[in-house]
């Protein structure tokens, strides 16, 4: 009896913690929770993009732009899975708490994740380029976009091939078992991939500016449209953080010390895919202003004059370049018409009825 009373007086025994436990030697739960959260947000952004394109508007087709962004999301999904599977639990843990077999399996998962990561970034960039190709009927703009597409393809190819064959015909995990395997300078290669990724993202912000800025629209409208393309700056910020923490991957306890690098990697992927979907906020906001009248495609139609005229006004058209407005008899050959369709047409009809457009009229039909 006395022993019973003594045990009761000691109070209830402390039970071990249940659920997710984050310790200084195990940061993996934070990485997994962040991965789940960003994956869900990326899926919502993609669904929002498709909702805006195919529900709020009419006569929209599933084109190459949608194929690219869907493939980018699937590649990003595969990359996220490599962090969520049991093999990915080595990231954020002390290397002393990881067995040799667990380390090898985790390095294999990380290798697959890096390949999918590059594919996701490259496809997301190409999705934006595909949309920019139809952004302007101007030949110089299209040539500039085509040149950038080639640059993105080259960046993706070099990054993918360099990552896939960084140790020749051997996997990078074999370097943990065999000292005779020679690999490329991984630190320098990852720096190259990161810096060139920042440069291409910066170009993806500047490229729409060269097309949109010359249009005769109000400053507020111009800044609003450009702000949606500038969302990619968050991906650039995450990439800079990734480069800052890159040296930690080459320390002795790299599985734990590289935790900020792996975390930044998830934010870079989220920012790149989300930036390709962010431009679709613009027609969504306009639909709210127009009362969500999805059947009326004119609610999404805008018309802006080009700042540089390619020819003089025909038939005495009275064009006001300062305000972008003109009389009913204005010559529309120097105007870009932004509608909800994804085609660029060139009218070759004559001066027939009053509803027909003059010879040489260019209509830009895009998702705004």
Mean pLDDT rounded to a whole number for the chain: 75
| Predicted local distance difference test score (pLDDT) of residue 156 | 93
Most confident of 192-196, 221-225, 281-285, 361-365: 192-196
pTM of the model: 0.72
| Predicted local distance difference test score (pLDDT) of residue 357 | 46
Name the pLDDT band for 286 (thresholds 50, 70, 90): low
Q: Are the C-beta atoms of residues 188 and 171 closer than 8 Å to each other?
A: no
Closest CA to 337 of 282, 298, 308: 298
Q: Average pLDDT in the 179-188 region?
A: 83
The residue written with tokens 């789940």 in the block is 36
The torsion angle over the Cα atoms of residues 209, 210, 212 and 215, rounded to 10 degrees, is: 140
Q: Is the pLDDT of residue 81 over 50?
A: yes
Q: Per DSSP, which regions of 192-243 are E strands?
A: none
Between CA 209 and CA 72 the distance in angstroms is 24
CA-CA distances (angstroms) from residue 160 to 73, 118, 165, 189, 211?
17, 6, 9, 11, 31
| Predicted local distance difference test score (pLDDT) of residue 60 | 62
Give the residue, 37 or 18, on which the prediction is more confident: 37
Closest CA to 114 of 157, 82, 87, 69: 82
Residue 137 C-beta-side C-alpha neighbours within 13 Å: 22
Between CA 92 and CA 25 the distance in angstroms is 8
Q: What angle do CA 136, 142, 143 make, to 5 degrees?
A: 155
Q: Average pLDDT in the 242-268 region?
A: 93
Q: Is the pLDDT of residue 49 over 60?
A: yes
**Least confident range of 23-27, 122-126, 306-310:** 306-310
Q: What is the DSSP string of 325-350?
A: EE-TT--GGGEEEE-SS--EEE----
Name the pLDDT band for 271 (thresholds 50, 70, 90): very high
316 φ/ψ angles, rounded to the nearest 5 degrees: 70, 30
Between CA 198 and CA 10 the distance in angstroms is 60
| Predicted local distance difference test score (pLDDT) of residue 137 | 65
Q: Are the C-beta atoms of residues 270 and 73 closer than 8 Å to each other?
A: no
Between CA 268 and CA 239 the distance in angstroms is 6
Residue percentage of the chain with pLDDT more than 90: 37
Most confident of 112-121, 172-181, 272-281, 282-291: 112-121
Q: Is the pLDDT of residue 305 over 70?
A: no
Residue 291: both structure tokens together: 């009362």
Closest CA to 362 of 324, 325, 342, 332: 332
Beta bridge partners of 23: 26
Q: Which tens digits make up the pLDDT trace of 7-32?
A: 444 445 555 555 677 888 889 999 99
Give the residue, 15 or 73, on which the prediction is more confident: 73
Kind plus residue range of the DSSP H or E element containing 193: helix 186-212
**Least confident range of 11-20, 29-38, 160-169, 271-280:** 11-20
Q: Average pLDDT in the 340-368 region?
A: 43
Name the pLDDT band for 354 (thresholds 50, 70, 90): very low
């Amino acid at each position: 009896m006395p022993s019973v009373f003594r045990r009761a007086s000691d109070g209830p025994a402390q039970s071990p913690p249940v659920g997710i436990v984050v310790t200084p030697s195990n940061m993996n739960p934070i990485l997994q929770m962040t991965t789940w959260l960003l994956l869900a947000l990326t899926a919502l952004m993609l669904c929002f993009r498709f909702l805006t394109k195919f529900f709020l508007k009419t006569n929209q087709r599933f084109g190459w732009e949608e194929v690219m962004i869907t493939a980018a999301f699937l590649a990003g999904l595969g990359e996220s899975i490599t962090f969520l599977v049991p093999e990915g639990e080595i990231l954020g843990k002390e290397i002393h708490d990881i067995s040799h077999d667990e380390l090898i399996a985790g390095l294999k998962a990380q290798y697959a994740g890096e390949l999918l990561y590059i594919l996701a970034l490259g496809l997301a960039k190409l999705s934006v380029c595909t949309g920019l190709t139809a952004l302007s009927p101007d030949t110089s703009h299209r040539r500039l976009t085509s040149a950038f597409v080639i640059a993105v393809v080259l960046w993706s190819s070099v990054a993918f091939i360099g990552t896939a064959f960084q140790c020749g015909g051997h996997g990078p995990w074999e370097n943990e078992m065999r000292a005779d395997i020679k690999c490329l300078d991984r630190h320098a290669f990852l720096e190259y991939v990161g810096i060139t990724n920042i440069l291409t993202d910066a170009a993806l912000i500047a490229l729409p500016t060269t097309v949109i800025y010359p249009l005769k629209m109000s400053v507020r409208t111009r800044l609003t449209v450009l702000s949606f393309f500038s969302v990619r700056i968050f991906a650039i910020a995450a990439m800079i953080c990734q480069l800052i923490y890159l040296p930690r991957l080459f320390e002795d306890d790299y599985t734990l010390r590289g935790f900020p690098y792996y975390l930044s990697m998830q934010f870079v992927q989220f920012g790149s895919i989300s930036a390709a979907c962010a431009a679709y906020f613009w027609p969504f906001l306009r639909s709210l202003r127009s009362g969500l009248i999805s059947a009326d495609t004119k609610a999404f139609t805008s018309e802006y004059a080009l700042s540089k005229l390619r020819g003089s006004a025909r038939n005495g058209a009275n064009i006001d370049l300062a305000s972008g407005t003109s009389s009913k008899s204005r010559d529309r050959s120097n105007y870009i018409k932004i509608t909800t369709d994804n085609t660029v047409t060139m009218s070759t009809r004559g001066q027939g009825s009053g509803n027909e457009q003059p010879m040489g009229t260019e209509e830009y039909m895009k998702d705004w």
